[in-house]
């Protein structure tokens, strides 16, 4: 009996995707629930697992576009798992290195392309002998074998083209997710009257609070207290104070939202994803930190769900983790605004007539000027600044 491997439905708006990578090889015995392939759509990247155990027969190659409901492989359930080879305690499949690049994860394939490492020569450290990104990077950093000394040969004449180096290019199709990101960014710039206003915030109070309570926080909740939970609560506080920012335009109507679902931008190898933290007004710092960690892990592992990305009234994007000093973020349309966070640097500031060094961060609020006036935008940003510089305001709602 053969069981069909079918591309599953992933929501009404998704009709096709790219079969980005196979995690198994044609003719391999697969276990039930073993990861089979990675599918990229215009919204998410996800993995599919085997529903049954047996020998898999692949009918669609990696990097091919597939439709929802399409059969991409079959699994022969009548086949049994291969017996271990004589003289070896390990199954034959596990003893073989993953030499087929289709069995590599996207991160490992990218590392192999960039480093030029031949994965067929590596013994993988991953599950079932799978070659990981770490294996490839380690091989790339290993010292090359020294050549046997030989008589020196005279240098060849150097021609002009050689001075320029190799003039090579690589061309590949945009992934569905990257195409969708591009479309949404263009839509935002064409549909909204975007404007950005800036401010700076002294991070001293938040940093002191984190230092004072970090140990107890980890002991109780098992996670670290980060900056994002402070900014998420500060944004929620500002949305409650300035309802015009918690709205959207639909046709000729302004729809004001009375809930606080905040999107947090997460960078992945496939592109930017914005999972949504629900009901932030009802969550404490630990719950927010836990949500962020969980969504970020799911996004980077390709396990995030469509429902995790839907909705959202406002977005926070933290470019500071990459070293960004200042930027003008593009709104996550049809949301009306986005807050851009940047890196924290020691700068000279004047406090009570004295020049002192403080850990400062620039804030950037991009917003749809059709909906939000300059006064409301500046007031909203000031509310965030006040809450970060004096976090007790979040406790008392002032």
The one catalytic residue in 33, 281, 373, 390 is: 373
Measured CA angle at 53 (ends 46, 30), to 5 deg: 65
- Token pair for residue 125? 């450290």
Has 373 been annotated as catalytic?
yes
What is residue 17's three-state secondary structure?
A: strand
- Distance between CA 220 and CA 210 in Å, rounded? 14
Say if CB 257 and CB 247 are below 8 A apart: yes
Q: Measured between alpha carbons, how far is residue 120 from residues 62, 90, 104, 230, 291 in Å?
A: 18, 19, 11, 47, 39
Say if CB 377 and CB 363 are below 8 A apart: no
The one catalytic residue in 57, 76, 128, 369 is: 369
- Distance between CA 310 and CA 304 in Å, rounded? 11
> 282-288: long-range contacts (C-beta < 8 A, 24 or more apart)?
285/217, 285/225, 285/229, 285/230, 285/233, 286/217, 286/220, 286/221, 286/223, 286/229, 288/228, 288/229, 288/232, 288/233
Has 237 been annotated as catalytic?
no
Burial of 352 (0-12, 13-18, 19+ CB in 10 A): exposed
Residue 332: CB atoms within 10 Å: 21
- Distance between CA 51 and CA 4 in Å, rounded? 9
Alpha helices, H only, 272-366: 285-300, 306-309
Alpha helices, H only, the chain: 92-95, 106-115, 133-141, 160-164, 176-191, 204-221, 227-241, 285-300, 306-309, 374-389, 392-396
Residues designated as active site: 369, 373
């Amino acid at each position: 009996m053969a069981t069909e491997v079918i591309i599953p439905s992933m929501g009404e708006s998704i009709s096709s995707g790219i079969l980005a990578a196979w995690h198994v090889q044609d003719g391999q015995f697969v276990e039930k629930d073993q990861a089979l392939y990675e599918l990229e759509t215009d919204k998410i990247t996800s993995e599919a697992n085997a529903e049954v155990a047996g020998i898999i027969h692949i009918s669609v190659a990696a990097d091919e576009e597939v439709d929802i409901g399409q059969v991409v492989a079959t699994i022969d359930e009548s086949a049994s798992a291969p017996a271990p080879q004589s003289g070896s305690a390990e199954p034959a499949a596990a003893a073989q290195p993953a030499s087929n690049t289709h069995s590599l994860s996207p991160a490992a394939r990218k590392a192999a392309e960039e480093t030029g490492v031949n994965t067929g020569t590596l013994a993988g450290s991953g599950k079932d002998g799978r070659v990981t990104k770490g294996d490839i990077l380690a091989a790339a950093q290993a010292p090359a074998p020294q050549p046997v000394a030989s008589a020196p040969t005279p240098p060849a004449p150097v021609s002009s083209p050689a001075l320029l180096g190799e003039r090579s290019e690589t061309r590949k199709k945009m992934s569905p997710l990257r195409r969708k990101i591009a479309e949404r960014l263009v839509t935002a710039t064409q549909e909204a009257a975007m404007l950005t206003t800036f401010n700076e915030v002294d991070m001293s109070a938040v940093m002191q609070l984190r230092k004072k309570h970090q140990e107890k926080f980890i002991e109780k909740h098992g996670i670290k207290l980060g900056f994002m939970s402070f900014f998420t609560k500060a944004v929620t506080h500002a949305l409650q104070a300035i309802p015009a920012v918690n709205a959207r335009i639909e046709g000729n109507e302004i729809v004001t939202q009375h809930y606080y679902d905040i999107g947090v931008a997460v960078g992945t190898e496939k592109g930017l994803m914005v999972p949504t933290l629900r009901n932030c007004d009802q969550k404490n710092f630990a719950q927010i930190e836990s949500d962020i960690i969980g969504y970020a892990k799911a996004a980077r592992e390709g396990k995030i769900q469509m429902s995790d990305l839907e909705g959202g009234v406002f977005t926070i994007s933290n470019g500071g983790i990459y070293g960004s000093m200042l930027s003008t973020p593009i709104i996550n349309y049809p949301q009306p605004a986005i807050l851009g966070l940047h890196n924290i640097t020691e700068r000279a500031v004047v406090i009570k007539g004295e020049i002192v060094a403080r850990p400062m961060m620039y804030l950037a609020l991009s917003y749809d000027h059709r909906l939000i006036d300059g006064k409301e935008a500046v007031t909203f940003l000031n509310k965030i600044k006040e809450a970060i510089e004096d976090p007790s305001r979040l406790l008392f709602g002032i």
